Amino acid sequence: MQEYWEIYMKHLEGHPATIQFNAGISMDIEENQTIFPIVGFVKVALQEPNEKGLLHPSEEPEILYMEDKLEAAMLKFRIGKYVGKVITQGTVTFLFYLQFTYNWQDFLAFALDEFEGYAITNGFQDDPQWNYYKNLLYPSAVEWQIIQNHKVCNALKEQGDSLQQARAIEHKIFFTDSEQKSPFLETVAKEGFKYMEDVVHEEGFEGLKIYRIDKPFYYDIDEVTLYLIKTAEAFEGQYDGWETSLVKA
């Protein structure tokens, strides 16, 4: 089972939530479903959540320590795998997929013996289809794009880019029906996007490269890409990411 973790924000039941999950597990999900058919959870009431019900920096070290203890205990008792956590509405819920549950209480006692000051609930249930992983932890196509957006933003920032300087940002879109390229281009041109060149996907799909002058700051680029994703889908297309030049302050 591969370890490859991602973190992103979403809304759950109308409330902001931070999701962190092991994306690497999805690469072998059919095998994992067979071996670990039970989902377990440990839900902790935060003592000092911020105004949005998320983790406050002052409490973060304690919650990270608890997470480490839970993960170490899961390995010690060899009953399953830690797959992710959800922080929302003043709680953090740690999720596991389990092979068996006969020593679940031993696992909890070992992991949580130092956290008597926290209100903690726990439980487990059958989930052979891994619905909690697929529908709660795993991001949608739009959420995946936001994850990738922020990775590019972080890479630019690490190289000295303030992200506040507008510059040409290039985008690729591919289409299942090549005849949809022209009407798509006409639509986005009304929003200031300009044609650069035709492109061909490695799987043979035809597409376009377009550009517009924008800031690559986190929320700005999210708004741009979400618009292009939605518009591309209306023309049987698929958005395929963006790139831009480094502009140092």
Q: What contacts 176, CB < 8 A, 6 or more positions away?
A: 205, 236, 237, 238
Fold of the domain built from segment(s) 5-137: Alpha-Beta Plaits (3.30.70)
Q: Are 135 and 19 within 8 A, CB to CB?
A: no
In the chain, residues under CATH classification 3.30.70.970 are: 141-244
Global confidence as pTM: 0.81
* Residue spans of the chain under pLDDT 70: 1-2
Cα–Cα dist 153/216, whole Å: 7
**pLDDT for the residue numbered 2:** 64
pLDDT tens, residue by residue, 102-131: 999 999 999 999 999 999 999 999 999 999
The 120-126 sheet, strands edge to edge: 5-12, 15-22, 80-88, 91-98, 38-45, 120-126
- For the stretch 115-173, pLDDT in tens is 999 999 999 999 999 999 999 999 998 899 999 999 999 999 999 999 999 999 999 99
How far apart are alpha carbons 154 and 170 in whole angstroms? 18
Q: What's the CATH code, domain 141-244?
A: 3.30.70.970
Q: Quick one: pLDDT at residue 194?
A: 97
Q: What is the pLDDT of residue 38?
A: 98
Count, in order, helices (H) and strands (E) of the chain: 7, 10
> What's the rounded Cα separation, in Å, for the pair 14 and 219?
19
